[in-house]
């Protein structure tokens, strides 16, 4: 097949087809939910791409040219095929049953997954989803989970991984806490303040030192590996913590106490066993998460 010869836009083809079927640009625009100028541009774009004139434009109506008449049947076939694809995809989604287990950190599970799962409920209402909200890495090869959301690329060649949108970690503290203890003006001031959220702070001290913040374990009065609990502790004014910016910015009572702090890059990977190629439930969930996060 000569692929380069079929490089026109399907949206333009649909605009021509509906215009021909409806008999006018205004009626076609209403049918497609578009403005008339937008639809007119799409039809003109198709004419330019194909190098033919499809309509004769008169003051009272649009008339198909000979080329338009000859091409109309082919575009009707395309429209029928598009409808069959849509119906087949919908039918497959509705037919998907069984159980899919998703492993994610409690932060991802709480703040990001629900909006994707809402769409999934509509697409595959009979599919059962179990969520393992834990910072422990689930073993996909031992089927502890079917899909995992991780912040590090897996090295196992038997796993399929797709990199999602990266985010960043930033310092956050409650305005109440900063009003009480004062806002730091430099790294030395920041190093005198309380921090929360590092379950093993001695492992994170070099990371903070690389950004000019010299902390000790004495700075950490409250320790947890849970992002959701860290958010609660920070909102209560118990100290400063590092949160993904998507989460921290969601709470107006929090602010960045030190704007000179270099953000921490956070990778996000969607991981599944190679079986996702043949399991329709896993494939559907994987694709929805990939598109939704």
Q: Are 53 and 67 a contacting pair, CB within 8 Å?
A: yes
Q: Is the pLDDT of residue 33 over 90?
A: no
**Least confident stretch, 230-239, 246-255, 278-287:** 278-287
Q: Are 289 and 123 a contacting pair, CB within 8 Å?
A: no
Higher pLDDT, 5 or 218: 218
Q: Is the pLDDT of residue 54 over 60?
A: yes
Tell me the per-residue pLDDT of 177-208, one tens digit each, with 9 for 90 and over: 999 999 999 999 999 999 998 778 888 899 99
Q: Are 43 and 72 a contacting pair, CB within 8 Å?
A: no
What confidence score (pLDDT) does residue 1 get? Answer: 46
Rounded to the nearest 5 percent, the helix, strand and coil shares of the chain are 50, 20, 35
pLDDT band at 60 (very low <50, low <70, confident <90, very high): low
Positive/negative CA dihedral, 38, 41, 47, 53: positive
pLDDT band at 94 (very low <50, low <70, confident <90, very high): low
What confidence score (pLDDT) does residue 4 get? Answer: 54
What confidence score (pLDDT) does residue 203 get? Answer: 84
Mean pLDDT of the chain: 86
Nearest-angstrom CA–CA distance, 159 and 131: 19
Q: Residues 187, 193, 196, CA angle at the centre, nearest 5°?
A: 115
What confidence score (pLDDT) does residue 256 get? Answer: 96
Task: For residue 87, count CB atoms less than 10 angstroms from its CB and return exposed for 0-12, middle for 13-18, buried for 19 or more.
Answer: exposed
pTM above 0.75, yes or no: no
* Structure tokens that stand for 277 in this block: 């190629």
Q: Are 265 and 168 a contacting pair, CB within 8 Å?
A: yes
What confidence score (pLDDT) does residue 134 get? Answer: 84
Helix (H, G, I), strand (E, B) or coil at 225: coil
Nearest-angstrom CA–CA distance, 245 and 95: 38
Q: Which residues contact 103 (CB under 8 A, 6 or more apart)?
A: 131, 132, 134, 137, 138, 144, 145, 147, 148, 149
Alpha carbon 257 to its chain's center: 29
pLDDT band at 3 (very low <50, low <70, confident <90, very high): very low
Task: For residue 275, count CB atoms less than 10 angstroms from its CB and return exposed for 0-12, middle for 13-18, buried for 19 or more.
Answer: middle
Which residues on adjacent β-strands are paired with residue 73? none
Mean pLDDT of 277-285: 80
pLDDT band at 7 (very low <50, low <70, confident <90, very high): low
Mean pLDDT of 214-235: 93
* Structure tokens that stand for 229 in this block: 């609990």
Tell me the per-residue pLDDT of 105-122, one tens digit each, with 9 for 90 and over: 888 999 989 988 888 888
SS (H, E, C) 103-114: EECHHHHHHCHH
Tokens 């921090």, located at residue:
195
């Amino acid at each position: 097949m000569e692929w380069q010869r079929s490089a026109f836009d399907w949206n333009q083809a649909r605009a021509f087809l509906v215009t021909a079927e409806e008999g006018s640009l205004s009626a076609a625009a209403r049918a497609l939910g578009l403005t008339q100028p937008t639809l007119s541009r799409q039809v003109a774009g198709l004419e330019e791409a194909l190098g033919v004139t499809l309509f004769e434009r008169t003051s009272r109506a649009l008339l198909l040219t000979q080329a338009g008449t000859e091409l109309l049947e082919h575009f009707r076939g395309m429209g029928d095929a598009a409808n069959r694809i849509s119906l087949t995809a919908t039918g497959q989604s509705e037919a998907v049953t069984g159980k899919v287990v998703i492993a994610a950190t409690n932060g991802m599970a709480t703040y990001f997954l629900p909006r994707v799962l809402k769409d999934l409920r509509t697409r595959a209402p009979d599919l059962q989803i179990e969520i393992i909200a834990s910072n422990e890495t689930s073993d996909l090869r031992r089927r502890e989970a079917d899909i995992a959301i991780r912040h590090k690329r897996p090295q196992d060649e038997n796993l399929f991984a797709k990199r999602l949108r990266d985010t960043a970690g930033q310092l956050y503290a409650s305005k109440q806490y900063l009003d009480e203890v004062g806002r730091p003006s430099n790294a030395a001031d920041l190093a005198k303040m309380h921090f929360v959220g590092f379950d093993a702070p001695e492992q994170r001290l070099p990371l903070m030192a690389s950004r000019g913040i010299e902390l000790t374990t004495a700075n950490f009065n409250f320790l947890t590996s849970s992002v959701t609990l860290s958010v609660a502790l920070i909102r209560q004014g118990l100290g400063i913590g590092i949160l993904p910016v998507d989460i921290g910015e969601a709470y107006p009572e929090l602010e960045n106490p030190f704007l000179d702090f270099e953000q921490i890059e956070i990778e996000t990977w969607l991981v599944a066993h190679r079986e996702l190629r043949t399991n329709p439930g896993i494939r559907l969930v994987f694709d929805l998460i990939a598109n939704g996060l």
